[in-house]
Amino acid sequence: MEAHGLLEHIRRQPRGRADFKHLARQLGARGKQRAALQQTLDTLAAAGRLIEHRSGHYSLPQQDSEFITGRLSLHPKGFGFVIPDRPPPGVEGDIFIPHRGINDAMHDDRVAVRLMRGKGDGRAEGRIERVIKRTNRFVVAVFRYSKRGSFASPHDSRIREDIAIPPGSELPAADTTEDRLGDVKAPEVKSAEELDGMIVNVEVLRFPTRLEMAEGRVVEILGQPDDFGVDVEIMIRRFHLPHRFSAEVRAEVESVPKTIPAKEIASRRDFRDFDIVTIDGETARDFDDAVWVERLDKGQFALHVHVADVSHYVRTGSELDASARERGTSVYFPDRAVPMLPAELSTGICSLNPKQDRLVMSALLKIDSNGAIVAAEFHRGVIRSVERMTYTNVFGILEGDVTLRERHAPLVERFELMQEMAMILNRRRHKRGSIDFDLPEAEIEFDEFGRMTGVTRSTRNAAHRIIEEFMLAANEAVAQRLAAMEGPAIYRIHEEPEAKRVLEFEQLAHSFGHTLGIEVPLRKFDRTHRRRDGSKSRHTDVVASTDIEVSPRDYQRLIKQIEGTPEERILSYLMLRSLKQARYSDKNQGHFALATKLYTHFTSPIRRYPDLVVHRLLKALLDQDTDSPHTRGENKGPYAASDLEAIAQETSFTERRAADAERALIQWKKARFMEERLGDEFDALVIQVSKAGLFVELLELFVEGLVPIESLPGQFEYRESARVLINQRTKFKLSLGDRIRVRADGIAFDGMRAEFSWVPPDKPKKPA
């Protein structure tokens, strides 16, 4: 029985539970069928779609009120949180796991949690009952040699247990050079003693218990922490990013034609006579999308968005498809990338390279003078991009750069029309309340030897906004088409923020003199207090209710309020934190930040697996009730709802994993960059206040770090209600948004964060 049917069968059992022997008897599974049944159950349990309570006993997570499945995120101090696959009724956010409830689970493991008690505010506390799937079978660590017994200290401070390395397990058995990106070479090490202090990859052979230390063997030597390229190799393994393509995938790629057959071109709509262009960053190597616009009668516009037809080359059920699904997304580091697809596809036949015929899925939109989509068509197409443009060059053309306008003279009018149309689309989004967070991102600068020389704030220009508006319009149009067919689909959703987080942010904004403009209802309740003499007194407490309503327009209005103010950076950061993360779902729940009821991802199938799935779904719709030559062989029809549910869950995780890895490497590079500036002083902005101290951002270098509370002179304590650190004797306060002077002192053990100390302002001299 296939997975979906098996899940439905278990769902119909009493209490939604079943044991293996009972299932095998009910389904008549014997011999190979019995073994296949066990394998399917194991696969579903590993994916969290079933809970295995004890050997051979299963239930569905959503039907079992005792257990919740999810991913464990540990804190370096020992406690953790489980991010549930499906939040249980009445529980908001993640489930707190105290140190005593962790048991033998490790950071990032998939676990089954038993809820112990609620915390009265929608939060819950739990205890880990069992590990469903071990994520950290391989751990990046620092090797420590000792004649009495070597061990490895995990590089990730959230994995707190050292791993014992028995004699004979210190050196890897095989050469792993091919596992590395680019030209990073593995060091030659001949003894365990030489390995001391190096970064290694360890396979955990025995996981830790309350009584025994974890045990493992070194499977790969990455090198010294300062070696060129080792930082990227660490992040790839630390975040378990799949980075090697199997022999089977390679074989499939080699069989992909390097040119497009004439028969295929003839079956598609031909756009090769249009002056279509790609617009991307200077360092981009894969080109997913190309655009073209034209002015129509009655103030209307034609917008064509052509997207690489990856699904033509990556067929459902192939090894290439399985590899792309496992990766979920490409991961982009400052100087290299881990692609979702092999280069032969991602920068070759799939990429919309200039002056080459390429297969596309085309969204042809008619847009009125107010920015509304009044008609949309979708086709299989073929294009030949006339130019590979960059954001910088298009912006230069729009700003009047004479040299660029002369070089691209045939396209200048087209780019000006693109800008006009993008502004109309943007005004329409703004009118409906769509939120535009224009937060700067770190841009790492390198010299010719690949060494980091600085970090700057990246900025978006008008060309970025052109492509952003066009992609948003195409994605929304595809989502509307999928929803109209009322079949299973994948959507990009962004749920409304939790009321508690909104209230917390509103209080912070109010301390800076700003507000979201929402009404916060007050709730009264009586509380009885017993005096020492035994008598009772009654008090009426008034608290802010979490029964509040907030809209995207409230956030949009506040962004406009704080634009250009000193507190803009800090409030924008806190505003973003008050919102939930966008994710993929097989059920449409709208997109809060974009203020739209329907949205999906269609425009980046080279880099994102959900986009590839959406292309297949769209093709299946186009092929319904037609005699299309593509109906046979290319698609196996729409996905089952259960398949899309699993894909949405998996790709939401791989997206977060990629973002975490990219962010961690940037932090690593910033921290190592600061090592060369130890002792130097900088002006900084306090962006967060906590028990640990002050998190600051250097105003000049765009580097973040921590001023530990213990490094502050005098006795400072954290006041959570006011989010300040206050000197107990002098009552001097350090608050969110303060501009202070700091000195670079060092970096944290795992190299992920710079550490600073506060430089108090000079005291004024007393008059003589």
Residue 604 burial (10 A CB sphere; 0-12, 13-18, 19+): buried
* Alpha-carbon distance values, 85 to 586, 592, 729, 732 (Å): 14, 21, 47, 44
pLDDT, tens digit, for every residue of 304-331? 999 999 999 999 989 999 999 999 999 9
- DSSP string for residues in 344-362: IIIIIISS--TTSEEEEEE
8 A C-beta contact, residue 724 and residue 689: yes
Q: How far apart are CA 71 and CA 49, in angstroms?
A: 13
Residue 16's pLDDT band, with cuts at 50, 70 and 90, is confident
Asked if residue 48 has pLDDT above 80, the reply is no
Mean pLDDT of 24-39: 84
φ, ψ dihedrals at 82, nearest 5°: -105, 125
Q: How far apart are CA 485 and CA 54, in angstroms?
A: 42
Query: What is the b/e burial string over 109-120, where b = at least 16 CB atoms within 10 angstroms of the residue's CB?
Result: bbbbbebeeeee
8 A C-beta contact, residue 324 and residue 314: yes
The stretches of 485-541 forming alpha helices (DSSP H) are: 499-511
pLDDT, tens digit, for every residue of 344-402? 999 999 999 999 999 999 999 999 999 999 999 999 999 999 999 999 999 999 999 99
pLDDT, tens digit, for every residue of 699-718? 888 889 999 999 998 889 99
Q: Which residues, 6 or more positions from 7, have their beta carbon under 8 angstroms from its beta carbon?
A: 44, 49, 50, 60, 642
Residue 441's pLDDT band, with cuts at 50, 70 and 90, is confident
Q: How many CA atoms lie within 13 A of 543 on its CB side?
A: 11
Paired sense of beta strands 337-338 and 373-384, if any: unpaired
Instruction: Say how many residues make up the chain.
Output: 768
pLDDT, tens digit, for every residue of 454-494? 888 788 899 999 999 999 999 999 999 999 987 899 999 99
CB atoms within 10 A of CB 373: 18
Q: How far apart are CA 256 and CA 556, in angstroms?
A: 47
Closest CA to 591 of 480, 425, 484: 480
Closest CA to 644 of 109, 58, 50, 4: 4
Q: How far apart are CA 631 and CA 623, in angstroms?
A: 6
CB atoms within 10 A of CB 700: 8
Query: What is the b/e burial string over 283-315, where b = at least 16 CB atoms within 10 angstroms of the residue's CB?
Result: ebebbbbbbbbeeeeeeebebbbbbbbbbbbbb
Compute, in degrees rounded to 10, the torsion defined by CA atoms 62, 63, 66, 71: -20
8 A C-beta contact, residue 739 and residue 678: no
Q: How many CA atoms lie within 13 A of 396 on its CB side?
A: 15
Closest CA to 247 of 365, 342, 158: 342
Asked if residue 522 has pLDDT above 60, the reply is no
Among 285-294, 536-545, 740-749, the least confident range? 536-545
Would you list the domain boundaries of the chain? Answer: 3-61, 65-133, 138-238, 258-443+458-487+599-622+639-664, 496-579, 676-758
Asked if residue 636 has pLDDT above 50, the reply is no
Closest CA to 704 of 668, 750, 678, 749: 668
**Residue 468, token pair as written in the block:** 């952003």
Mean pLDDT of 14-42: 82
8 A C-beta contact, residue 760 and residue 713: yes
Please list the residues that pair with 68 across neighbouring strands.
113
* Alpha-carbon distance values, 202 to 141, 234, 753, 758 (Å): 7, 12, 24, 38
Asked if residue 727 has pLDDT above 80, the reply is yes
Please list the residues that pair with 455 across neighbouring strands.
444
* Alpha-carbon distance values, 80 to 73, 131, 659 (Å): 6, 14, 20
Percentage of the chain lying above the pLDDT 70 cut: 88
CB atoms within 10 A of CB 581: 10
Provide the mean pLDDT of the chain.
87
* Long-range contacts at 293-298 (CB < 8 A, ≥ 24 apart): 293/414, 293/417, 293/418, 293/421, 294/417, 295/417, 296/366, 298/369
pLDDT, tens digit, for every residue of 80-99? 999 887 767 667 678 999 98
8 A C-beta contact, residue 260 and residue 329: no
Q: How far apart are CA 540 and CA 542, in angstroms?
A: 7
**Residue 94, token pair as written in the block:** 């993640």
Mean pLDDT of 548-571: 89
**Residue 69, token pair as written in the block:** 């499945």
Q: What's the pLDDT score for residue 570?
A: 87
Asked if residue 60 has pLDDT above 80, the reply is no
Q: How far apart are CA 378 and CA 476, in angstroms?
A: 13
Q: How far apart are CA 345 and CA 357, in angstroms?
A: 14
Q: How many CA atoms lie within 13 A of 318 on its CB side?
A: 21
Q: Which fold has domain 138-238?
A: OB fold (Dihydrolipoamide Acetyltransferase, E2P) (2.40.50)
Could you report how far apart the first and last alpha carbons of the chain are, in Å?
93
CB atoms within 10 A of CB 674: 24
Fold match between domain 65-133 and domain 138-238: yes
CB atoms within 10 A of CB 459: 10
Q: What is the DSSP letter of 37?
A: H
Q: Which fold has domain 65-133?
A: OB fold (Dihydrolipoamide Acetyltransferase, E2P) (2.40.50)
| 3 state DSSP class of 178 | helix
Residue 265's pLDDT band, with cuts at 50, 70 and 90, is very high
Q: Which residues, 6 or more positions from 567, have their beta carbon under 8 angstroms from its beta carbon?
A: 512, 514, 737
Mean pLDDT of 673-683: 91
Looking at domain 676-758, its CATH architecture is Beta Barrel (2.40)
* Alpha-carbon distance values, 756 to 31, 142, 683, 748 (Å): 65, 24, 11, 10
Closest CA to 437 of 572, 547, 260: 572
Mean pLDDT of 543-566: 82
Asked if residue 443 has pLDDT above 50, the reply is yes
The one-letter amino acid at 456: T
- DSSP string for residues in 575-589: HHHHSPPPEEESS--
Q: What is the pTM of this model?
A: 0.84
> Taking phi first (over 0 means left), then psi (-120 to 50 degrees means alpha), and beta for anything else, what does residue 257 get?
beta
